[in-house]
Amino acid sequence: MQEFFSISLIITQHINRSLGDRQGVSLSKVSRYKRSLSLEENTHILLCDLGGAMGIDQEYSKPRNPSITSMNYMQYNFGVFNHQDLSNVSKLRRALSFSDFPWMNCNVAHPMTKEPFFGEPYNVFIINGMKLVILSGYGGDYLPESEKKEPTLHISRLGSSVKRWLRYIYDSEDPDYVIVCISDWSGEINEVIKDMEGVGMLVTGSHQQEEDGHEAEGEDPGDSAIGLGVNASQYETYTVPEDGQVPIYHHHHNSQVLHISINFKTRTNTYEYLSHSVANIDKEISQLSEDYNLLDLVHYHL
């Protein structure tokens, strides 16, 4: 067991079926970046998507979603859908049936039971013996017209859903560290922040982007990450009666790829959080070469 170790959380969003052989960010270039990270010692990689990778729409008619094929090859650890993915629920369900990794959401639920509609709300990762739990939710309110007429799913309030599942996680899982990931950041995130007991980090993705992945006019992505009222090096502290002061780090990003590195130290019976760094790596990813094994695989299957 490593005394000092780090978790590299690579977060993609709004990839929009950009597999490769193009300028800018693509899944094949992200795959190349992940391979370079795997050579670093004491680094454990978690690859996730905060929505928009599948690019599901009414015109898409391929037998398999090429993004899911690519993400399976890249060994994504989990995904969270956003408004783009929810634009066609039937095709979304078909695409997810081919996914080798979980798609998590705590507040997109069945209309009758209010239980999660797609998979599970959270997942447990054992990294260097540490129990890391990641809880995910959908921060938007978009539903296609077909769902409004004959609903097959229901969007529960994000704040109450996150609070309920955090309580369940601490009652049943006894985690060492908790991360909350929310797709489609909106004003409701302020409600979520009020009840974040025991959460180490909150990561949110922006829904204010164009379909080609560029920021909408007037948006400023900043140099690394945009905090909810703070920058990437600051945090807000909340008083929790049982645990004293609990730091929560907020990172709201408009970029297509974010790299968060979280450093820990192994104690006798616990794990100590040491520090973390955040970087918007869109430019770095864009300059990489393609992973042609990924592109050949997609071409073969489709």
How would residue 244 be classed by pLDDT, with cut points 50, 70 and 90? Answer: low
User: Which residue in 255, 132, 277, 107 sits closest to 191, CA to CA?
Assistant: 107
Q: For residue 22, which amino acid is it? A: R
pLDDT tens per residue, range 97-126: 889 999 999 988 888 887 888 888 999 999
Report the CATH number at residue 258: 3.60.21.10
Its pTM stands at 0.86
pLDDT tens for residues 284-296?
Answer: 999 999 998 998 8
* Nearest residue to 95 (alpha-carbon basis) of 120, 65, 125: 65
- Per-residue pLDDT averaged across 200-219, rounded? 59
The model's pLDDT over 66-83, given as tens digits with 9 standing for 90+, comes to: 889 899 999 999 999 888
Other CB atoms within 10 A of residue 294 CB: 23
Task: Return the pLDDT at 190.
Answer: 67
Expressed as residue numbers, the domain containing 233 is 4-301
Token pair for residue 35?
Answer: 């391979």
Alpha-carbon span 119 to 291, nearest angstrom: 30
Residue 180's pLDDT is: 94
Distance CA 203, CA 212 (A): 22
The token pair at 79 is 């995904």
Percent of the chain scoring above 90 in pLDDT: 42
The pLDDT score that the predictor gives to residue 7 is 96
Q: How much helix, strand and coil, in percent to the nearest 5, is found in the chain?
A: 25, 30, 45
The total domain count for the chain is 1
